[in-house]
Amino acid sequence: MLKYVNSDIVFQEVPGEVALAINLSGCPCRCPGCHSRYLWSDTGTPLTVEVLDSLIEQCNSNITCVALMGGDAMPSEVDNLMEHLRQRYKNLHTAWYSGRSLLSPMLNLKNYDYIKLGPYLAHLGALRSKRTNQRMYKVINGKMQDITSHFWKR
């Protein structure tokens, strides 16, 4: 089961969105130079649909997007939560930050508005670096459009 450690309202992780970012534990990627090593261990609270709903309700409608940060060990569970979000919260966008280079075949793209792919490689930098290996995609009509350059304009 997916577990989350913490959450926060963020403004820079998804272009043009005020996102509830939920940090998931148990990350199998273990990127060298990771700024969130505390998410490597299997710790935290199980992220059920009920818990997810409660986290969203605590935001008092101040968000436009829900972003799951991690969950690479269980992409089918990420997809199940995103499907729940799609069905219950028609006004919220969905985003997933994955440290994998390739999209899991277990995902249904109709459940996503944004997907970030790629491990953090210190010598290439994060999304703000024009040299980054990481990519942010906007899902439009079932196709992934690379929008990484939106991070370079800041």
Q: Residues 41-99: pLDDT tens digits?
A: 899 999 999 999 999 999 978 999 999 999 999 999 999 999 999 999 999 999 999 99
Token pair 């199998």 in the structure block, residue: 28
Separation CA 150–CA 94 (nearest Å)? 18
Mean pLDDT for 33-40 is 81
Range of the domain at 73: 3-153
Number of independent structural domains in the chain: 1
53 DSSP β-pair partners: none
Mean pLDDT for 105-122 is 94
C-alpha pair distances (Å), 31 with each of 3, 40, 113, 122, 128: 19, 10, 25, 9, 17
State the pTM of this model. 0.94
Supply the DSSP symbol for 85: H
Q: What is the CATH number of the domain that holds 56?
A: 3.20.20.70
